[in-house]
Chain A
Amino acid sequence: MDRLYFEDFPPGEVVEFGDAPVTAEAIVEFAREFDPQPFHLDAQAARDSLAGGLIASGWHTAAMLMRMSCDAFLDRATAQGSPGVDKLDWLKPVRPGDRLSVRRTTLSARPSRSRPGVGVVELLFEVLNQNLEIVMTQKGAIFFLRRAAGEAAP
């Protein structure tokens, strides 16, 4: 497949992708390593907590978004990392049995001031569950290489 450059992210574009099943095993595995709180580890303990049942670590949901983005477009993009994320909000719990997908909106795209040949694309990611409820939103930027002058678009 053709590689994706800075120029392939026009502002206003909306793209939907991803279909990631969430399992109790994956929730617990991530939590054991990175977020060992009872409501991410144990269904019984989770029932008695603010969460009301086993829920995924918010960092796990962020990591699942990253994986869906890699599979859908970043793996064939000229991405060069991210300066950061302005906002990351966990709006609803992610539970075993959920299926997650993503709606990506390109908010802006501009050439980097400090790095010639690089552009900064600001993206809004909305992670949806199978009921089309937004469970997490993330607004941040990613660096992409610019297509060299004179190089044909794919």
Chain B
Amino acid sequence: MIGLYYEDHRVGQTATVGSHQFTREAIIAFARAYDPQPFHLDDAAGAASLFGSLCASGWHTASVSMRALVDYREGRRAAAAARGEPLPALGVGLGIRDLRWANPVRPGDVVTFSARVEAMRETKRPQWGLIASRTTGVDQSGREVLSYLSHVLVARRGP
């Protein structure tokens, strides 16, 4: 997820992949489409909930983390293409473990996402390696708002 090819990764490698400000409008728009619970839609309902204020759907936060990861990788691919290097095929995500929303994301919060390679192994298919990486989102006060371990297929350089 951090490098282009499986072989570019090392366990323990980390990268800050991007930041995103959550606006009230975007929080409510996501909630209307996918998670219309009152505390994601309405200030008064948010204030009356365990969260104490309007806050983003956890699926919104997770989806924004995906966008940050994709944009980060796209930047790396564009730089490689500019150097005339061949680009690997894109792998897909297989699953997520230990997805945690430790603190709510409120309107105006700026969340910075980072990724850390936790484990990696070869697969039965010689063109794909499997990388487990921990994505973390931290708000402007340093509070963790998102954390998950993802398993993603990443192209190998080949023999």
Binding site for B on A (CB under 8 A): 30, 33-39, 49-51, 57-60, 62-64, 66-67, 70, 74-75, 79-90, 115, 118, 140, 143
Stretch binding the partner chain, chosen from B9-17, B78-86, B98-106, B109-117: B98-106
A86-B97 contact given A62-B62, A66-B35, CB 8 Å threshold: yes
**Count of CB-CB pairs between chains A and B under 8 Å:** 100
Complex: A62 Cα to B99 Cα, angstroms:
12
Bound CA–CA A85/B62 (angstroms): 12
Q: Report yes or no: B51 in contact with A34, Cβ–Cβ below 8 A.
A: no
Report yes or no: A81 in contact with B50, Cβ–Cβ below 8 A: yes
The reply to whether B92 and A51 contact each other, CB–CB distance below 8 Å, is yes
Residues on the B chain within 8 Å of A80, using CB? 49-51
Question: What count of chain B residues pass the 8 Å CB interface test?
Answer: 35
- A74–B59 Cα distance when bound, in Å, is 15
Interface centre among B57, B58, B148 (most CB of A within 10 A): B58
Within 1-41 of B, Cβ neighbours of A (below 8 Å) are at 33-37, 39
| New A-B contacts (13) at CB < 8 Å, excluding given A66-B59, A82-B58, A87-B97 | A34-B64, A34-B66, A35-B63, A35-B67, A39-B90, A50-B90, A62-B62, A64-B34, A67-B36, A81-B58, A83-B101, A85-B99, A115-B50
Among A63, A74, A83, A89, which residue has its beta carbon within 8 angstroms of that of B37?
A74
Q: Choose one: B35, B63, B90; the contact of A34 (CB below 8 Å).
A: B63
Q: Once the chains bind, are B90 and A37 in contact (CB under 8 Å)?
A: yes
Question: Which residue in A70, A90, A143 is a CB contact (below 8 Å) of B93?
Answer: A90
* CA A33 to CA B29, docked complex, whole Å: 12
